[in-house]
């Protein structure tokens, strides 16, 4: 069996660990593995890389991806199906192992199913926004990276009190990541794209917390509407200075946590066994605390909104 590994969309901590684990299983079992550089765009052009097992072992805990990704929508091109089949035939590729987030899994897997290209996908995005799975690889590592930043903020906040500290996380247009970080860090407020809020309420809450505790910590997702105006208006309405920290893309490049390295290996084992058994299409999903192989595509609908009860609890509503 020969498998081509493809990373589609954004990178996430744990991808390297999963690639290394799959390659180790395949090579130990007498199978062959290659990696596509530059996602599906590279795969359609036959840019395939032999995977160096010793290099993979050294890089398995690092963030990013040893295989470059791409968001180029090449699979929507009219000749994409035949180009994919031709590359797979020319390189004796039997199946694909695909890493991707919400967009990739929604759009790529139905095409692969239609074109008869056997594939197993691993949900990988720090945003944890994929419907059909409770967890996506990389989420825990991104949370841990943010918590380290929170500890630094709390240290300086305690030394120099009387301020509001805002921490901007990644997460795209969904607030799952920001909510998880706010909950774990004990933030005093959290702002998410899915839920509206009043700026006067936030100012009053921040003022009360600063008076009681010396400083206030507010976590928010990068796509909360009107961030610039919030940063400008909140100090004026609360009468308290504000310090802003944006984690940015460094959060995606965090080292893989113990949990993500474990999940990566377990996902890879399920994927390898499924491909060996001849599965035509599937996704490894975590549901109710257990990894399972979901045959076929993922749900096309969006994931349910972030936990509103938890959102209200953090915000004291």
Catalytic machinery residues: 127
Q: What is the DSSP string of 161-208?
A: -SEEEEEEE--TT--HHHHHHHHHHT-SEEE-TTS---HHHHHHHHHH
Residues constituting the chain: 317
Helix residue spans in 2-138 (DSSP H): 15-28, 39-44, 53-59, 80-90, 102-115
Contacts of 7 (CB under 8 A, 6+ apart): 15, 36, 39, 65, 67, 68, 69, 99, 100, 124
Measuring CA to CA, which residue among 51, 125, 136, 112 is closest to residue 279? 112
Distance of alpha carbon 269 from alpha carbon 53, whole angstroms: 16
Which contiguous run of DSSP H or E holds residue 237?
helix 227-238
Distance of alpha carbon 37 from alpha carbon 48, whole angstroms: 6
Q: Would strands 290-295 and 281-287 be described as parallel, antiparallel, or unpaired?
A: antiparallel
3-state secondary structure of 152: helix
């Amino acid at each position: 069996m020969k498998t081509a590994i493809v990373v589609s969309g954004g990178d996430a901590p744990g991808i390297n660990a999963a690639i290394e684990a799959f390659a180790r299983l395949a090579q130990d079992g007498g199978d062959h593995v290659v990696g596509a550089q530059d996602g599906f765009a590279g795969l359609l052009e036959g840019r395939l890389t032999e995977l160096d097992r010793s290099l993979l072992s050294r890089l398995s805990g690092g963030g990013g991806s040893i295989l470059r990704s791409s968001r180029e929508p090449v699979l929507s091109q009219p000749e994409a199906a035949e180009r994919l089949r031709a590359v797979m035939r020319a390189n004796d590729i039997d199946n694909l192992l695909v890493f991707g987030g919400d967009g990739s899994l929604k759009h790529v897997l139905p095409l692969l199913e239609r074109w008869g290209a056997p594939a197993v996908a691993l949900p990988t995005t720090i945003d944890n926004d994929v419907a059909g799975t409770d967890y996506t690889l990389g989420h825990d590592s991104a949370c841990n990276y943010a918590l380290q930043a929170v500890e630094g903020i709390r240290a300086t906040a305690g030394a120099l009190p009387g301020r509001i500290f805002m921490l901007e996380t990644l997460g795209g247009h969904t607030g799952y990541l920001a909510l998880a970080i706010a909950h774990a860090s004990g933030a005093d407020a959290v702002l998410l794209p899915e839920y509206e809020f009043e700026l006067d309420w936030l100012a009053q809450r921040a003022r009360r917390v600063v008076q009681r505790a010396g400083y206030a910590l507010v976590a928010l997702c990068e796509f909360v509407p009107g961030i610039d105006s919030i940063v400008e208006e909140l100090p004026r309405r609360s009468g308290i200075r504000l310090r802003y920290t944006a984690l940015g893309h460094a959060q995606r490049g965090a080292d893989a946590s113990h949990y993500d390295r474990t999940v990566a290996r377990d996902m890879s084992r399920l994927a390898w066994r499924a491909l060996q058994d001849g599965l035509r299409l599937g996704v490894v999903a975590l549901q109710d605390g257990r990894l399972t192989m979901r045959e076929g595509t993922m749900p096309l609908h969006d994931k349910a909104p972030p936990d509103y009860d938890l959102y209200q609890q953090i915000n004291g509503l």
